[in-house]
Amino acid sequence: MSYQTPKDCTIHEPPTPIPSPPPLIDSFARATDNHYVFTGAETRLGHHLFAHDSSNPGPAPRDWKLRLQANFLPTNGGGGLFSLRNFPEDLVPFFAYKDVAIYMPTADSVIDFFDAVYREWYPTRDRTVFDNGLMACCGAPFFSSTMRVVFEDPGPQPPGLLNHLVDWHVALSQHLHRLIPRFHHLKIAARMLISPGLTQPQLDALPVSRVRVEYKPIIRRTFSECFLWVEKGWIDKGVRLVVLSKDMSNKILSGECEGLTRDMDLEERAIYAAGSGARNEEEEKKVELEDHVNVNDAETTMGHVSVWRGSLEHVMRAVVAGEETRKRGLREYNFVLGEWLGEGVNVGK
C-alpha cells in the first residue's frame, strides 16, 4: 500500500527506540553481579598508602606502608601495614590483572570516583580474561588498584609529590614482579586461588577449602608503564596520567590518544625538585623492571617521565589504547546498574 502526502509536508522519521536489554540468563546475571561485587563497599573505599618521614639515606625520603582493604582480611576488612620488604606473595592478586594503579587523596569521595571508573571500564573490559572464568575477588580483572595516599604533615607540594609517587610506584612494580613466581595460594572465604602446577605435597599442605580455582597472576604492562594521579576536584580539573615509559609517551605524542594536555611545567619542576635541574640522561638514575613471563621490560628516569592531564574518560582510554580488543565501540547493558553503558554496537556480553 502506498501513501500520498501533501506537497509541502515534511515527514520526520521517528526516533530510534532504545533497544531492549538482552535476555537475562543465570550465568550472565552472575557474571555482571560479580563485576560489581568486586567493586563493593570494601574495595570501593580504596586501599591506603601511608607515607612516613624516613631517616634512611637515599633518593626517596619517605617510608611507604600499604594497607589493603578486603572483607576477608583480618582487622575489620583492613590487613596489617606492609612495607615492600614484608609484603607477602599471597597478596599479589590485589594488583594482578589491573590495568593501572590510581593514587588519590583521602579527601574526595572515592565511591563516586570508583563508580565513574566502573562505568567507563565495563564496556571496554578485557573479555578474554573473563572468559577464562576468574571469579569475583581481589584477583579479578579490573581497571585499577586504587590507593588513597596519606602523608604525614606537611605533605609535599606537587613537584615533590610526583617524585615520591614515581619512586614508590617503580619500587612497587619491581617487587610485584619478583613475587609472582612465589605465589602459591590465597584463601578467600570458601574458595581458594591456587597457582597452577603445584605438586601434590604442596597441595596437601594448603589450608582446607571447599573450592580451589587455578589462578596465574599477571602484572599487566600498563601497570608498570604508568599510573593515575587524582587530586581533589577531579570532575572539574580532570586527572593526571603519569607515564613512565618512552613507548607510551610516543603513543600519546603520535596522536593516538585524544583529549590529553601535557603538563610541561610540572615535569620541569619535578626534575628540578629531584635535584637534576636539567634533562641529562647520562646522569639520571635509571630503574629497570625485572623481566618476567608476560611482563615486558620497562625503564624510567625522571627525564623520561611525562605528565598528561585530561578527563577521567580520556585518561582511561589512553591507558588501554594499545589493545585492539578493548577499543570503544561497544554498548552493553549492565543488569546491576540497570543501564546501557558505552556506545556503538549493542552486545549482550
What distance in Å separates the CA atoms of residue 78 and residue 91, rounded to the nearest whole number?
13
Global pTM? Answer: 0.80
pLDDT band at 312 (very low <50, low <70, confident <90, very high): very high
What distance in Å separates the CA atoms of residue 349 and residue 343, rounded to the nearest whole number?
14
Q: What is the pLDDT of residue 316?
A: 94
Highest-pLDDT range among 11-20, 110-119, 209-218:
110-119
* Interval 81-91: pLDDT, tens: 888 888 999 88
Report the C-alpha dihedral over residues 290, 291, 295, 296, rounded to 10 degrees: 100
pLDDT band at 273 (very low <50, low <70, confident <90, very high): low
Alpha helices in 257-311 (DSSP H): 264-273
* Interval 126-168: pLDDT, tens: 877 755 445 566 777 788 888 888 887 666 777 778 888 898 9
Specify the DSSP class assigned to residue 192: E
* Interval 326-336: pLDDT, tens: 877 788 888 77
Please compute the mean of the pLDDT values over residues 216-240 and round it to a whole number: 91
Q: What is the pLDDT of residue 69?
A: 80
What distance in Å separates the CA atoms of residue 68 and residue 123, rounded to the nearest whole number?
27
Cβ within 8 Å of residue 332, ≥6 positions away: 122, 123, 340, 341, 342, 346, 347, 348, 349
Q: Domain spans of the chain?
A: 26-347
- Closest to 221 in 3D by CA, of 99, 84, 42: 99
Cβ within 8 Å of residue 97, ≥6 positions away: 126, 129, 134, 139, 140, 141, 142, 217, 218, 220
> What whole-number percentage of the chain has pLDDT above 90?
17
Cβ within 8 Å of residue 109, ≥6 positions away: none
Let me know how many helices (H) and strands (E) the chain has, helices first.
11, 16
